Amino acid sequence: MRTFQYSDAKSHKFWNIDVSGNSFTVTYGKVGTAGQTQTKAFPTPAKAQEAADKLTKEKTAKGYAETSLRGNASEVEAFEKAIQNNPRDLAGVAAYADYLAEHDDPRGEFMQTQIALESESLPKAERKNLHNREVELLGEHEAEWVGDWATHPDVGQATDEWVAPKGWVPYRFTRGLLSSVELGGLTVDVARKVVKAPQLRFVTELTVHDIAYEEEYEDGPDLKESDGEEPSQYILVRWPQLRHLRVFRFGGCDPEDYDSDWCPYRSHTPGILIADFAKQMPHVEELHIMAHFREEAERLVSLRMPELKVLLLYHGWNYPLDKLAKNASLTNLRELRCHPHALEGGDEPYIRLPHLRAVCRSKFLTSFTHLQLRLANFGDKGIDEIVSSGILKRLKVLDLRHGTVTDEGAKALAACPDVKNLGHLDLSWNRLTAVGVKALTATKVKATLNRQQRVDGDDWECFGQGDIE
């Protein structure tokens, strides 16, 4: 098959022709779309080729430029499959870049350029030249390499949880490959554009800030009657590319707000499919779930996720950490970061002493270096568990913000020799007095202690500092 593209100030189109036997098939349309297809038959293969050549000549005369990859299709597939299976393998990406460059595909030079720019030892002048060439190549081919999903007006749709910052771009190239996609309030139209875009076959990082509520949308075979409200997530959850994701962020929260004091963000993002999404990601390394979830968490923490390193669960009403601790596949989990929904009237906190004990004593969660359990009521008994379990021998970060730890717990923690392994300790918004603060300060551990304490506060002052909607 031969492929061609045409670009001017008003349009960006493609035209492909594939001769097979005594017929040829033409596909044409706007770049990034599936386009339209027409097939024409002839008396003989020679006649078909002759007509195809004539039509091709007419197209090039009108300004269409050939973009055919002059290599072997099976070789291209082998390169791409290898990269999808191991996206961090520099040797594999570099080999593909060289292959494309040898076959006059500008993507090869772009990949080579971005790979070269990774070197920190490059002379300033050489780096500037490479950067200029990077910009030139993007200026010529970016629309083709990205696809028209990125220009859809709903891609950066604002919601109550998220507004696109100035200069926001919904994608990122890494080593010349489109590796990261970021979406605002996901709509049906955008979801359909994304799942159909062949340009996204190398995406390993996906961020969905929110799910748009839509009363009207076009029905189709990609939706079922049972999909209900916020249908766009049901389209996205069936995207085959999910199997190649390494990082998935879902919900209304900017990563810069993860450690904000009052948790001043909220989430209306429905988390009803969080386990269904994660189930499609056998190689996922980071899951950042910032959405409303309940029983869905039970399935999520029970999934087999052998490569998972970071699990962040914000805004939920259910934290089955006891089940998480029994998941034999989570031996590589390094960070567990939990900030539940605000305490509702009459309820007890969502993270309690049995949850902490299960995590600390788990025979599978052996790689922890970062433990964050906020809005928990285990207080000093929890500190005793942390000390006696020995988990401090490997923890680098311990974050128990918005809890009920008193001076007694602070002194028990300070008395443990292993506390010095911590790179950071956060006991703000607990119940320490100057006595407890002094004991922990004496350990020389970097700590957040004085931001706010609620010595005589009620439970709401401790457990109400999450999403209250």
Which residues of the chain fall below pLDDT 70? 8-10, 32, 34, 67-73, 225-228, 253-266, 345-346, 456-461, 464, 468-469
DSSP one-letter code for 423? S
- The domain limits of the chain are 2-66, 73-145, 147-463
- pLDDT score at 212: 87
- pLDDT score at 161: 74
Helix (H) or strand (E) run with residue 411 in it: helix 407-415
- pLDDT score at 345: 62
User: In terms of Cα–Cα distance, which of 403, 410, 409, 416 is closest to 453?
Assistant: 403
- pLDDT score at 5: 80
- pLDDT score at 305: 97
Q: What is the DSSP string of 237-256?
A: TT-GGGGG-SEEEEES--GG
- pLDDT score at 355: 97
Burial of residue 280 (CB within 10 Å: 0-12, 13-18, 19+) is middle
DSSP one-letter code for 165? P
Q: Give the C-alpha separation, 53 to 60, whole Å.
A: 11
CATH number of this structure's domain 2-66: 2.20.140.10
User: Which pLDDT tens digit goes with each residue over 53-68?
Assistant: 899 989 888 888 776 6
Q: Give the C-alpha separation, 210 to 448, whole Å.
A: 31
- pLDDT score at 72: 62
Do 2-66 and 147-463 share a fold? no
CB 142 within 8 A of CB 192: no
Topology annotation, domain 147-463:
3.80.10
Q: Give the C-alpha separation, 360 to 426, whole Å.
A: 18
User: Which pLDDT tens digit goes with each residue over 146-168?
Assistant: 999 999 999 998 887 788 889 99
- Residue partners of 51: CB distance under 8 A and separation at least 6: 24, 40, 42
Helix (H) or strand (E) run with residue 29 in it: strand 23-30
- Residue 189 backbone dihedrals phi, psi, to 5 degrees: -60, -45
Largest CA distance in the chain: 95
Return the structure tokens found at 319.
Answer: 């934290």
CA atoms within 13 Å, Cβ hemisphere of 82: 15
